[in-house]
Chain A
Amino acid sequence: MSAPSDKHAVALEVNGREYRIAVEPRRTLADALREDCGLTGTHLGCEHGVCGACTVLVDGAPVRACLMLAVQAHGRPIRTVEGLAGMDGALHPLQAAFHEAHGLQCGFCTPGFLMLAVGVLEREPDIGDAALREILSSNLCRCTGYQNIVAAVRAGAARMRRSTGHG
Chain B
Amino acid sequence: MKPAPFRYDAPATLDETLSLLAEAGEHGKLIAGGQSLVPMMNFRLARPGRLFDLNGVAELDFMRVEGARLRIGALTRHAAFHRPPCEGPTGALLAEVVRHVAHYPIRQRGTFAGSIAHADPASEWCLVAATLDAEIVARSRAGERVIAARDFFVASLATALRPDELVTEVRLPVLGARWRTGFCEFARRAGDFAIAMSAVALRLDAGIVREARVGVGGVEDRPSRQPAAEQALAGRPVSPAALAEAADAAAREVKPMTDLHADAAYRRHLVRTTTRRALERAAA
Q: Which residues of B contact A69 (CB under 8 A)?
A: 8, 31, 34, 38, 53
Q: Is the CB of A67 within 8 A of B190?
A: no
Task: State whether B106 touches A64 (Cβ < 8 A).
Answer: yes
Best-surrounded residue of A5, A48, A49, A61 (most CB of chain B within 10 A): A49
Chain A interface residue number, banded: 20 to 34
Count of chain B residues with Cβ under 8 Å from any Cβ of A?
32
* Neighbouring A residues of B41 by C-beta, 8 Å: 26
Q: Which B residues are CB-close (under 8 A) to A120?
A: 104
Q: Which residues of A contact B191 (CB under 8 A)?
A: 137-138
Closest residue of chain B to A62 (Cβ to Cβ) is B105
* Cβ contacts under 8 Å, B105 to chain A: 52, 55, 61-64, 116, 119, 138
In angstroms, Cα B34 to Cα A134, docked, is: 22
Residue B69 is within 8 A (CB to CB) of chain A in the complex = no
Q: A24 contacts B5, CB within 8 Å? A: yes
Complex interface bits, A57-68 against B, C-beta within 8 A gives 1, otherwise 0: 000011110111
Q: How far is the CB of A39 from chain B (nearest CB, A)?
A: 18
A134 close to B43 (CB less than 8 A): no
Q: B1-45: contact bitstring with A at CB < 8 Å (1 yes, 0 no)?
A: 111111110100000000000000000000100110011011100
Q: Which residues of A contact B108 (CB under 8 A)?
A: 61-63
Q: A4 contacts B34, CB within 8 Å? A: no
Cβ of A47 within 8 Å of any chain B Cβ, yes or no, is yes
B7 near A2: Cβ-Cβ < 8 Å: yes
Pick the residue among A4, A68, A119, A134 that contacts B109 (CB under 8 A): A68
- Give bound CA distance, A119 to B5, whole Å: 32
A71 interfacial contact with B, CB 8 Å: yes
B99 touches which of A49, A67, A119, A134 (Cβ 8 Å): A134
Closest to B5 in A: A4
Within B100-115, the residues touching A (CB, 8 Å) are 103-106, 108-109
State which of A4, A49, A55, A135 has its C-beta within 8 Å of the C-beta of B38: A49
Residues of B within 8 A of A67 (CB): 34-35, 38-39, 106, 109
